[in-house]
Amino acid sequence: MIAIFIALPIGVKIPDSVEKGHASSAPSNPYLGLKLILSLLIAMVMAWVLQRWAIPWFDDQPAHAGLL
C-alpha cells in the first residue's frame, strides 16, 4: 500500500489553463497505469529486502512462551 503513495507524485504536471469545475492542482495526465506498475516493482523490491534481511533476523530471536 505504501508503494503506491511513493509512486503517485512522480511525473505530476499541473496544466497552465484549468477548465471550469476542475481543481487547480489536478494533474493534466496522472499516468495511473504506469504508476501502478511502478508501485508493483517498488513493492516487489521492498518484499525482497524484508525476506532477505529482516525476516531471517526475526527467526534468530528466541520464541516467547506467552504468545501461544
Q: Which domain holds residue 47?
A: 2-62
Report yes or no: 66 and 52 within 8 Å, Cβ to Cβ. Answer: no
Three-state secondary structure string covering 18-56: CCCCCCCCCCCCCCHHHHHHHHHHHHHHHHHHHHHHHHH
Report yes or no: 45 and 39 within 8 Å, Cβ to Cβ. Answer: no
pLDDT tens, position by position, 28-65: 889 999 999 999 999 999 888 888 877 666 666 665 65
Q: Look up residue 29 and give its three cell numbers.
A: 495526465
Cut 0.75: pTM above it: no
Report yes or no: 15 and 52 within 8 Å, Cβ to Cβ. Answer: no
Residue 67 lies in a domain: no
Of residues 15 and 53, more confidently modeled: 15
Query: pLDDT at position 47, please?
Result: 87
Residue 68 lies in a domain: no
Among 39, 38, 31, smallest CA distance to 11 is for 31
The count of domains in the chain is 1
